[in-house]
Each structure stands twice: as C-alpha cells, then as structure tokens.
Chain A
Amino acid sequence: MRPNNLVGSTSFRLAVLYAVLFGASVAVLFGVIFWTTDRHMRAQLDDVVETDLATLTEDFREGGSDALIEAITDHLDLSSNRGAFYFFGDAAGRRQAGNLPTAPSQEDWQELTLDDGAADSGESGHRVRGRAATLDGGAYLFVGRDIRPLNELHEAVARAFGWAGIVTVALALGGAAIMSSGLLRRLDGINRIAEHIIAGDLGRRIPTRASKDEFDRLATNLNAMLDQMESLMAGLRQVSNDIAHDLRTPLTRLRQTLETARRSGSDREASEAAIDHAIAETDGILITFGALLRIAEIESGARRSGFSTVDVAPIVDTVVEVYGPAAEEKQQSLTSHTVAPVMINADRELITQMIANLVENAVRHAPCGAAIAIDLSIHPGRAILTVADNGPGIPAEMRERVFRRFVRLEAARTTPGNGLGLSLVAAIAGLHDIALEPLDNAPGLRMRLTIPLASPAPPG
C-alpha cells in the first residue's frame, strides 16, 4: 500500500478524525476525574485544618496560652500528624509555639511555601495550606496542612494522562492504518474488476464474501446492475439483428420491383404498375420504420408528458364502430359491453392505437364467422378491458414471445403485417403501467388489460 495513497484516503482520514475525537473525550474524562479528586482532597484537607483550629482555639479559651502551647506540642508529637503545621504568635507576630517560623494572621485561606531548614520538623520545600484564627489580645493561631499529596496527585495524573495520550495516538494511527488499508484493499478489488468490465469483459462479476456487510451489499447490487446491462445489450443485439433481417426482405423486394420497372422500358403500363408497386413496398417499409420509432419513443418514456385524464369508454366505442364494417365483411360478430365513465391518466392517441391494434388483430386473425367480444368493466382502483375471440388463439409457448418485435405466428405468416402490432401494444401498456395478459379463451385468445384508474375517481 503506497503511503501517500493511504494517508490521502477518506477511510484513513475518518479513522484519524475518530482517533482525535476519542483522544479529546479521554482528555475530558481525565480532566473530570482530576478536578473532582482535587476538590475532594482539598475539601478534606480544609476540614482537617478547621477541626484542628476549632479544637486548639477551644483549648486556648479554656486554659489560656499555656494550654494551647501544650496542645500544639502534643499534636506535633503525634506521628499521625505528619504534615501538620502550627504557629502560635503574639500580637507582634513572635512565635510562642509551633513548627513554622512565621505565619500570616489573616483569617482567610492562605498557601505558604516553606523555605529549607527553619521549621522544627525538618521538612522543607513544602507548600502549606491553612488559615489563622484571631485569639485575645492580638494573638493568633495558624493551622495548616501540607498539600504536597495534592501536588503529587497533580503530577501523577498529568504523567498518566501524558502516557495514555501517547498510547492512544499510537493505537489510533496504527488502527487507522490497518483498518483503512483493509478497506482500501476491498475497494481496490472492486475497482480492478470494474476496469476489466469497462475494457470489455462483460461477464465478470464482483466477488462477495459471506459476511453480508455493506461491501457485499454494494457488490451484490453492482452485480445485479451488470446482469441487467448484459441482458439489455443482448436484447439490443437481438433487436438490431431482427430489424436488419426483417427489413432486408421488403427492401430486396423493392429492389426487384424497381429492376422490373427498368426492364419494362417501353411498356409504359407495365413500368407504371411496377413503379406503383415499388411505392407501395416503400410505404410498407416506412410504416415499419415509423412503428419501430414509435415503439422506441414510447419505451423511452418520453410520451408521459403528454398524459391527460381520458375516458376509455368512448374510445372503445369508437374503435368498435370503426372496425364494425370490417368484421361484418368477414361475417364476424363484433360486440362490446362497456361501463362509463372510466377515467385514466393516459395519452389519448396511444390508448386509441393500443385498443385499435388489439381489435384489429382479432378481426384479422380470427376466421370468418368468429365472434369477437370486448368488455370494459370497473373494479376498485382499476378497470379491466378484455378483447376476446374464439379463433385459433396463440399457442401457450408463444404467448410471451408475441410481444417482441417482428414475431409472427406461423399461421399468420401469409397475412399482411409487419409483426410490430403487439410490440406497440406492449410498449403502450408498459408506459401506462397497464398489465397485459394473453389468456386462453378456450378456444381462442383473450387479451386482458388491467388499467389503473385515475385518482380520485368521482363517485357514481
């Protein structure tokens, strides 16, 4: 792992940030502990001084200076009073008793630094905290305690904190380096696979561990995305092949027709007929291209901006009216049953074309004398439109495939058509979130469309 890569990486920076925050909270913790302990110890020390002061003052009151001097001497003799300092001074400040050479007479708390030597107890270099109490006639008594333990505490805590700080920082940096290098390695792995895929090896996928952590989720999602991309590209190749294949035939016919026209030369009528034929052929190709473009436009979702609230019932009625005569010519019965209104959010033109295509398909592919029935009904939140015929229907294995471009049933191969009608229906249905199901009408085909209603539907 290159060092500059590591230090610059976001994960390292985050780890360091975390370490800093942790260090700060440790410092706060130490500070609180220190401060609390310090205050407590001070309070205790002060209590001891006060008690001493009160006791000795009482001794003075009861027995005068002599009693006090005796009491001070006793106190100093007690080894448990190590660290105690006394000073009994007269009004002029001359020492009467005690182990301090001198002491202030103020009644508020003082801290004194002892010089070396002069004190009887032989201790030197201490800081004494205490206060004085005024006695009769200007005399005063000063009681204090050594606060060296307090200072030693300060130093100990500071030292401990110092070491702890160093260890924390070291651990933090080390931990950060280890953690982020681990993360970087996994990310690097993903990046390398992505580079392979970009370079063209579409089959590669990102390996996942069993740990189901966030990296695995990322890897799983990326793999799913790659799967979809691969299938879309395969689909695209398929469609391009289909298109090229299926347009080559009419284009070839067109060329042949034009050659015929050329060969007819002086035969004006034959030549004109051939040219008419060529124009008709070209029109057919243009219609196919137009349908392909329309399907692509619909599939891209661009048409959604043209949506408005549309009543399906009159559209069904119009379509039935338009194809009525065509059905009659084939002695087919074309009936419809609708409820109204059926309001949906849709592109009116596309819905019209979709329904027209379905009805047209039924009229075309059902044989003479067949019965074609259209039904439009309302259910909670959705409308159901069915176009059913009792013709040959679609064999079960073809039911999914018929919606793909250029797919035509064997039975229909000789009838005119470009195989895009149902693709258009499927594309329009997809754009409108309409569920489209080809069902067996036993016999025949029943196309069932489930159309979400526009909300809110007015009552009644």
Chain B
Amino acid sequence: MKLLVIEDDAETAAYLANGLREEGHVVDHAATGRDGLFFAATGGYDVLIVDRMLPELDGIAVVKMMRAAGVNAPVLFLTALGGVSDRVNGLNAGGDDYLVKPFAFSELVARVNALGRRPVLATAETTLKVSDLEVDVVKRSARRGTRTIELQPREFRLLEYLMRHAGQVVTRTMLLENVWDFHFDPRTSVVETHISRLRGKLDAGGSPTLIQTIRGAGYCLRAPE
C-alpha cells in the first residue's frame, strides 16, 4: 500500500518508515503538520499514520483540515496520550483508529493493514466465506461444510470480526477493543482462551484449522495452505 507517515521525531519516523517498507509498503514521510497536509492532499495515500503531538499544527487539526479538503483515506493516530477523551477526540476529528505509544510494531502493521483493507470489504455483505466456512451475518448462523456450528452471541461476534479481516493479522488488542469493548489490557490471557474455544468449535470433526496463531503478533483466519 502507499502510506504517509506524519511524525516530527526523526528516530520514530525512521523506525516506522523502515519497518513498514520491510512489510512491502511504499512509505512517504512528512515531518510537520503543514507538510503532511500538503502531501495528503496531493498524494493519494491508502492509509495515513499521524502523530498527535506535532509542532505548530497538531495532528487533530491536520486531520480535520484533511477531511475538510476531501481526503477520505483512513487515518491511524499515534500518541503518547492514552486517556479515553483523547481517543474520542481523535476519532471525532476524523481519525479511524488510535494507537498509544509505545506499541509493538506488529500491532501497528496489523492495524494499518486492517484500515487499508476496509473499503474493499463492504459491510453490506451478508454472507462471509473462507474455505468451507460460511457465516450468515443476518441470520447469525455459521456452517462448516454441512455441519452447523452452535455459537454463543459473543463467539459469533469474534468469528465475524476474524472473517471480516480474513487473511490479515488481527492482534489481541484489536480483538479486545472490537469484540468486547475492553479498552485496557487484562492481565489474564482471556483472548487466547476464547480463540482456542472457537477453534475447538470450528475444527470439530477433524476439519483443518482456519485460525492461525501468528507468534508475537496475533491471529489470522485464512484458508489452510
């Protein structure tokens, strides 16, 4: 994807740019809000990564102006501020996601991919399908081949989220936020437990496993190789 990083700290910017390039993305870097605004308006980026604390023009203002100028690309905010009002302010300004520093790089990559993929997977789809797993979003039913899978409402939400991000790495934090609305990190490995339960239900009867664990990053639902 084509990415724009707006970050004034040179070291962080290098860390982000290099890491993302290694993932195969094309990355441009702007060191000030003003430059970032200019690049964004003319560059045609897939995802924008914006630091909230910028000199002169802060991240929130930059995104507001971008949206006013018609730049609709998804925005991921990076910040050292972790309060809930900061998150809400960021999202209200036109941001799409929010990461608190310091973060694991795999977290950033997963979220950038999730944001970049969004327009392609329209939410209007009522049936999601990966390999022989079929999920009907409206009827809230899941089926593996001919076998119906009984799922609790929350388990279904977990499966739906994984399906909508099929093929992408989904981190624990993303799951906690989007499936359970937990905006903090529980010390217990609750996500692992729920994933393994879901896996158990999906893979019952010897079907090949669809939910892969990506070490150090998260999980990925995809057709087995």
Residues of A bordering B, CB below 8 Å: 276, 283, 286-287, 290, 293-294, 297, 302-303, 305-306, 318, 321-323, 325-326, 329, 347, 349-350, 352-353, 356, 360, 363-364, 416-417, 421
Pair A297/B85 contact, Cβ less than 8 Å: no
Per-residue CB contact flags for chain B residues 177-218 toward chain A (1 = under 8 Å, else 0) read 000111111111110011001000000000000000000100
Answer whether residue B24 sits at the interface, using C-beta atoms and an 8 A cutoff.
no
Pair A360/B186 contact, Cβ less than 8 Å: yes
B185 in complex: contacting residue of A287, A323, A326, A329, CB < 8 Å:
A287
Pair A297/B83 contact, Cβ less than 8 Å: yes
9 contacts between A and B (CB under 8 A): A294-B82, A318-B180, A321-B152, A322-B180, A325-B190, A326-B188, A353-B182, A356-B184, A416-B187
| Contact residues of A: prevailing secondary structure | helix
Which residues of B62-109 are within 8 A (CB) of A?
82-85, 88, 102, 104
Pair A303/B188 contact, Cβ less than 8 Å: no
Please name all residues of chain B whose beta carbon is closer than 8 Å to the beta carbon of A294 when the two chains form the complex: 82
Pair A321/B154 contact, Cβ less than 8 Å: yes
- Report the 9 A-B pairs with minimum CB-CB distance, sorted nearest first: A325-B193, A353-B184, A349-B183, A349-B84, A306-B85, A326-B188, A322-B190, A321-B154, A326-B193
Interface residues of B, count at CB 8 A: 24
- Chain A minimum-CB-distance residue to B195: A325
Q: Please report the C-alpha to C-alpha distance between residue A276 and residue B216 in the assembled complex, in whole angstroms.
A: 9
Pair A360/B187 contact, Cβ less than 8 Å: yes
Q: Please report the C-alpha to C-alpha distance between residue A325 and residue B216 in the assembled complex, in whole angstroms.
A: 22
Pair B184/A364 contact, Cβ less than 8 Å: no
Q: Please report the C-alpha to C-alpha distance between residue A364 and residue B185 in the assembled complex, in whole angstroms.
A: 15
Pair count A-B, CB < 8 A: 62
Using known A-B contacts A286-B102, A293-B82, determine if residue A318 contacts B181 with beta carbons closer than 8 Å: yes
Please name all residues of chain A whose beta carbon is closer than 8 Å to the beta carbon of B185 when the two chains form the complex: 287
Please name all residues of chain B whose beta carbon is closer than 8 Å to the beta carbon of A352 when the two chains form the complex: 181-184
- Chain B minimum-CB-distance residue to A318: B180
Which residues of B142-190 are within 8 A (CB) of A?
152, 154, 180-190
Q: Please report the C-alpha to C-alpha distance between residue A216 and residue B83 in the assembled complex, in whole angstroms.
A: 44
Q: Which of B84, B104, B188, B190 has the most CB of A within 10 A?
A: B188
Pair B190/A290 contact, Cβ less than 8 Å: no
Pair B84/A347 contact, Cβ less than 8 Å: yes
Q: Please report the C-alpha to C-alpha distance between residue A356 and residue B182 in the assembled complex, in whole angstroms.
A: 9
Please name all residues of chain A whose beta carbon is closer than 8 Å to the beta carbon of B184 when the two chains form the complex: 349, 352-353, 356
Pair B190/A326 contact, Cβ less than 8 Å: yes
Please name all residues of chain A whose beta carbon is closer than 8 Å to the beta carbon of B188 when the two chains form the complex: 323, 326, 360, 363-364
Pair B186/A329 contact, Cβ less than 8 Å: no
- Chain B minimum-CB-distance residue to A284: B187
Pair A322/B182 contact, Cβ less than 8 Å: yes
Please name all residues of chain A whose beta carbon is closer than 8 Å to the beta carbon of B216 when the two chains form the complex: 276
Please name all residues of chain B whose beta carbon is closer than 8 Å to the beta carbon of A416 when the two chains form the complex: 187
B84 in complex: contacting residue of A286, A303, A325, A364, CB < 8 Å:
A303
Q: Please report the C-alpha to C-alpha distance between residue A283 and residue B197 in the assembled complex, in whole angstroms.
A: 27
Q: Please report the C-alpha to C-alpha distance between residue A347 and residue B88 in the assembled complex, in whole angstroms.
A: 12
